[in-house]
Amino acid sequence: LKKVTTLPKAQYGGRHAVTMLPGGGIGPELMSYVKEVFKYGGVPVDFEIIQIDPTSESNEDLEYAITSIRRNGVGIKGNIETRSLDTGVISRNVAIRNQLDLFVNVVHCKSYPGVTGQHKNVDIVIVRQNTEGEYAMLEHESTPGVVESMKVITTQNSERVARYAFEYARKNNRKKVTTVHKANIMKLSDGLFLETSRNVAKDYPEIQHNDMIIDNCCMQLVSNPHQFEVMIMPNLYGAIVSNVICGLIGGAGLLSGRNFGDYYAVFEPGTRNTGTAIAGKNIANPIAMLNASIDMLYYLGLKSHADVITLAINKTLNEDLVHTPDLKGTASSLDVVQTIIKHVQNLSVNCKKK
Ligand code: ADP
Ligand code: MG
């Protein structure tokens, strides 16, 4: 198998096949908006939709979903809730990432000028280790009342993540990478993560590298997020920090997250929420999942389609100011989607005229 950049994606009759895992909560409605926008944008993508029953004791759906992503090479997903605290029932989300070896998660946290957040003009790329660390799922009760949980950090995965971040910085003309850690306390595990990123940094002399302890990092993010360009961190810190930054610039409904391995890619909303409480109320913000679908289109090389939908979203959020309640607006999910579709149609007509 070659690396993902060269691996051909499933394509039948000129159309791309992508696995769609709607997940629970607001997942299915957000996916219906993606399909609707794609229809009006004439996007040549067919979805293979797989529902994973969260209450199921068997992992049959999960295995089927993973096989489908292996076949298509690309997936888009909502969050699959794991309600059980039974150690025999593992998180399906984690299982998908681990089995496909999606070792890196990338969340580009960029402010929308039309959306008021705690800070303006934030533009930070979070590069998170996605398959180990505190998510190793190696927990046991050694004696009643005493639980041990293993955090796993490896040189190999730390290096892949650091290299991804520095390559990203180089390609996207970013000048600074910050490694986030708690190596003052977790000297061996976070120490290895930090040391590895310092070693990788040596191969990128034109990029400034610094490091920051996770607690100080949270304080710095809230008070001065503009000091950050690209950030590298282990799994759990990445989960927390990406939610902090999303919160700073407009909440859980806006940004997307990309999961990459050497062979597969899976796209999803950046904060990975299920949104059970707001499901079926026509108030969920469709933007995060639409952004995930745009990331997917760029990944598939469908740049002109991705550009049109990006422009339509920018017009909707920054010019029309059609915002759902999470952005302190009064628009419904469908109002937002219809406004986006209107722009997609106009932009597509203008493209054809040219
Ligand atoms: P989790 O799945 O981690 O339990 P929740 O589903 O409770 O998280 O989501 C966290 C918060 O983010 C909730 O207040 C939820 O309403 C909000 N949220 C998540 N996604 C969206 C969205 N697309 N639009 C609006 N609010 C959202
Ligand atoms: Mg929830």
Say how far apart CA 61 and CA 40 lie, in whole Å.
Answer: 31
Name which of 299, 332, 338, 298 is nearest 316 in CA terms: 338
Span 283-325, pLDDT tens digits: 999 999 999 999 999 999 999 999 999 999 999 999 999 999 9
The ligand 1 atom nearest the CA atom of 79? 2
Question: Range with the lowest mean pLDDT among 85-89, 93-97, 121-125?
Answer: 85-89
**Distance in Å, CA 109 to ligand 2 centroid:** 22
Residue 33 CA to residue 188 CA, distance in Å, equals 46
Q: How far lies 269's CA from each of 58, 248, 286, in Å?
A: 26, 16, 10
Establish whether residue 73 lines the binding site of ligand 1, counting it when its CB lies within 6 angstroms of any ligand atom.
no
For ligand 1, is residue 273 a contact (CB within 6 Å)?
Answer: yes
Where does the pLDDT of residue 1 fall: very low under 50, low under 70, confident under 90, or very high at 90 and above?
very low
The predicted structure's pLDDT at residue 9: 62
26 lines ligand 1 (CB under 6 A): yes
The reply to whether ligand 1 has any atom less than 6 angstroms from the CB of 275 is: yes
* 239 within ligand 1 shell (Cβ under 6 A): no
Mean pLDDT of 199-205: 98
Asked whether residue 4 carries a pLDDT value surpassing 50, the answer given is no
- pLDDT tier, 2 (very low <50, low <70, confident <90, very high otherwise): very low
Q: Distance from the CA of 353 to the center of ligand 2, in angstroms? A: 46
Under the banding of pLDDT at 50, 70 and 90, the label for residue 265 is very high
- Compute the distance from residue 334 Cα to the ligand 1 centre, in Å: 18
Average pLDDT rounded to a whole number, residues 251-276: 96
ipTM: 0.96
105 within ligand 1 shell (Cβ under 6 A): no
pLDDT tens by residue, 5-14: 445 566 677 7
* pLDDT tens digits along 33-83: 999 999 999 999 999 999 988 777 788 899 999 999 999 999 999 999 877
* In the chain, alpha helices (H): 27-41, 60-72, 92-99, 155-171, 189-201, 214-223, 235-249, 287-300, 303-314, 333-353
54 CA to centre of ligand 1 in angstroms: 18
CA distances to 128, 202, 231, 336 from 199, rounded to whole Å, are 18, 5, 16, 46
Nearest protein CA to atom 16 of ligand 1, as residue: 275
Neighbours of ion ligand 2 (CB under 5 A): 274
Q: Which residues neighbour 155 within 8 Å (Cβ) at sequence distance 6 or greater?
A: 192, 196
Say yes or no: CB of residue 252 within 6 Å of ligand 1.
yes
Confidence of residue 136 (pLDDT cuts 50, 70, 90): confident
The closest ligand to the CA of 91 turns out to be: 1
**pLDDT at residue number 352:** 62
Distant-in-sequence, close-in-space partners of 9: CB < 8 Å, separation ≥ 6: 16, 17, 72, 73, 74, 300
pLDDT score, position 320? 98
What does the pLDDT average to over 218-243? Answer: 97
Substitution site in 273, 285, 317, 337 for ligand 1 pocket (most atoms within 8 Å of beta carbon): 273
Measured distance CA(347)–CA(343) in Å, rounded: 6
For 39-49, the pLDDT digits (tens) are: 999 999 999 99
Mutation choice for ligand 1 from 93, 274, 278, CB with most ligand atoms inside 8 A: 278
Type of residue numbered 304: S
CA distance 28 to 348: 26
pLDDT at 353: 59
Residue nearest to atom 7 of ligand 1 (CA): 275
**pLDDT category of residue 351 using cuts at 50, 70 and 90:** low
Q: Which two tokens stand for residue 299?
A: 């990944």
How remote is the CA of residue 258 from the centroid of ligand 1, in Å?
18
Q: Measured from the CA of 285, which atom of ligand 1 is nearest?
A: 24
